[in-house]
Amino acid sequence: AQKVTQAQTEISVVEKEDVTLDCVYETRDTTYYLFWYKQPPSGELVFLIRRNSFDEQNEISGRYSWNFQKSTSSFNFTITASQVVDSAVYFCALSDRTGNQFYFGTGTSLTVIP
Amino acid sequence: GAGVSQTPSNKVTEKGKYVELRCDPISGHTALYWYRQSLGQGPEFLIYFQGTGAADDSGLPNDRFFAVRPEGSVSTLKIQRTERGDSAVYLCASSFLAGDTDTQYFGPGTRLTVL
């Protein structure tokens, strides 16, 4: 069975602090894909990153970075020097090799305090 | 280009009524997905279309829920005899190709409230 766990329900940080959002997944597939989406107050899910199970290289995009570790089944997301505009709910998601179904975690609500 | 659009943005209905929710995918995207997001939860898969056909409807909760995509573009999610438990945000997503895990791009959702 596919499952994604985001244990942090809510996080508050002060602007310019770094913050890491945790994501742990379960799957029996050897080929799978992991995603992070951002859901701002407007409600629309915004795609951030896709990573396949064969690529464990960490990725950095501006202030965002992702740490994928198959050994611990984790795909954590770090925001460096957080900004108020980063306030949103962040979802981690898992799909199998077909990509036909996404399994989402329950989300982490991030509040960045000015 | 334009993203996924969904109408209406909000729908309030009474228990037992019939509702239709519409999704316009990104132009050229062949795959279309419907999800339901309850308060404080992540989106839950309902159904996905490849072209005009429903390739996987395993997420539909019961036979009151039905979706169509007659011309392989716009899709309509139909809910009969609505119940208060159907209240949620219904999200639509599209991707260029199904399979090969192409990224799904989401619309803003329709917030359905059943009184």
Chain A residues with CB-CB distance to B89 below 8 A:
43
Contact B103 A35 (CB under 8 A): yes
Q: Chain B partners of A97 at a C-beta cutoff of 8 Å? A: 101
End-to-end CA distance of chain B: 37
Each residue of A6-44: pLDDT tens digit? 999 999 999 999 999 999 999 998 899 999 999 998 888
Go through chain B and tell me how many residues it has. 115
What residue of B is the nearest CA neighbor of A99?
B101
Q: Could B103 and A97 be called an inter-chain contact, meaning their C-beta atoms sit closer than 8 Å?
A: no
pLDDT at position B98 is 56
For A99, the closest of B40, B43, B98 (CB atoms) is B98
Beta strand extents in B1-115 (DSSP E only) = 5-7, 10-13, 19-24, 31-37, 44-50, 53-56, 65-68, 75-79, 88-95, 105-106, 110-114
pLDDT in tens, B58-91: 899 999 999 999 999 999 999 999 999 999 999 9
Distance (Å) of CA B101 to CA A56, A66, A77, B28, B94: 17, 19, 20, 16, 12
Residues of B with a Cβ under 8 Å from any A Cβ are 3, 33, 35, 40-45, 48, 55-56, 59, 89, 91, 93, 95, 98-109, 111
